[in-house]
Amino acid sequence: MEERKCELRLPNGKVVNFSYAKLKAGIAVTALVLVGAVGGAGYLYHQLADYRSEATDYAAYKQNKAEQQTKLQKLLQDNERMLRDMAETMYAADGVGLAAPQVGVSKRVVVIDVGEGLYELINPEIVKREGKVLGSEGCLSVPDYEGEVERSEYVECEFTDKTGQRMLLSASGLLAICIQHELDHLDGILFIDKAKTISPKQKENPEDAVR
């Protein structure tokens, strides 16, 4: 078959001859090059979009983390202030324990000092109990009465301290009784709800009864 020829006259008058088959091949190659270029550009665009998305996500993560840290610091500061105020109130009333609900604060927080130093318990929970003991108790919320209440003789109490660390407190004797007494307040329970006997309060040694 005779090869088809094409003739192209340039503006300067020169005539260029080439085969029709080579012309089609050249057009096809050019088209493939253009498609490849467009495809490569599309790939790079999507890659850059992914990088921008990842960068945005990381920036949002850092901002959220910073905001959470700020909220945590504020919470710790608020708790420390509240614990300080509660301790001052307890000492002013000659008590050995005080729960946040007793001062109108709806939080699971108590302070205790039975002569062994101040304990500050946030979100306390008794996780172990042993033995039974019957003892006299009084309360700042019921100042004119006292009663005989049965309590566990030994307890282990998990709590969060004012730095945010989870701790475990093992207690017996008066400290164990006071922990149980104050944690009852967190659940809206007074000693008179559990007392075997209740009587008008008599003058006594402050160390003989839980406040």
DSSP-assigned letter for residue 139: E
Please give the positions annotated as active site. 182
Residue found by looking up tokens 């901002």 in the block: 63
Phi-psi label, residue 6: left if phi above 0, alpha if psi -120 to 50, beta otherwise: beta
Q: How far apart are CA 103 and CA 100, in angstroms?
A: 6
Name the 3-class secondary structure at 141.
coil
Q: How would you classify the pairing of strands 197-200 and 166-172?
A: unpaired
Residue 153 has phi, psi (to 5 degrees) of -75, -30
DSSP secondary structure string, 188-204?
T--GGGT-SEEEE----
Identity of the residue numbered 106: S
